[in-house]
Amino acid sequence: MDLLVVGAGEMGRWVARTVDRPVALADVDPSTAERAAAGLDGRVRAVPADTEETFDAVCLAVPISVVGEAVERYAPRAERAMCDVTGVMTTPVEAMRGALPDRERVSMHPLFAASNAPGNVAVVGDAPGPVTDALLMDVMAAGNHTFETTAAEHDEAMKTVQAGAHTAILAYALAAGNVREEFATPVSAALEDLVTTVTGGTPRVYREIQETFEGADAVAEAARRIADAEGEAFDDCYREAGE
């Protein structure tokens, strides 16, 4: 079985490394695909983004904002199956249903940066089969834990674990004063580590998450509630947070 991975960024390279089969890697920037393929083993080759080749499976590792368009564009290249690792699920699942009604379809979301692999991988098996099962076996063989979800449950969860969490971390970083390291507490040190993790990526990735999933406003409202709370109102917030 051969696989076309569309998108030679961080997660596209992760897919290419993780699957145990021949991989073709495409990107809108041909030099990016060529450099990525050269940095991987002999199973991986670079192909043009407008390739006319067909493959047993196509995996989309593209930005969230273009995944619907990418499904339409690359559906003819997928002979048996298509999957994605874009980080949103409702949009690609619905697009794949429309464009590939008679082929296997799975949406995956690795819940980690590639540098932190292995980890948890959310899976929506919309129309699974032997090809997508083989790909998931490769993911699990690399030490990742896969778990089934629905597109709706996943996208709702991302409001908290991505949009909300990132908002809280970035807001802390923006509000933090410039203090000497000796003043760090266990809580502030842990937050500083999280700030380093989040800001060590690229703004585009985090911007697309914020634009796709709600959650930032809820964090802002909670922060204002805590800031305004006095006496027992603060105690209520504290206890509620612990629950």
Q: Model-level pTM greater than 0.85? A: yes
Give me the tens of pLDDT residue by residue for the chain, a chain 243 residues long: 999 999 999 999 999 999 999 999 999 999 999 999 998 877 899 999 999 999 999 999 999 999 999 999 999 999 999 999 999 999 999 999 999 999 999 999 999 989 899 999 999 999 999 999 999 999 999 999 999 999 999 999 999 999 999 999 999 999 999 999 999 999 999 999 999 999 988 899 999 999 999 999 999 999 999 999 999 999 999 999 999
Q: Tokens for 171, please give them.
A: 């807001």
Three-state DSSP at 5 gives strand
Which residues 6+ apart lie within 8 Å of 199 measured at CB? 170, 173
Domain ranges for the chain, please list them: 3-149, 156-242
d(CA 72, CA 69): 5
**DSSP SS3 for 58:** strand
- The letter for the amino acid at 35 is R
Superfamily designation of domain 3-149 = NAD(P)-binding Rossmann-like Domain (3.40.50.720)
Which amino acid makes up residue 226? I
Measured on CA atoms in the order 74, 124, 212, 113, is the torsion positive or negative?
negative
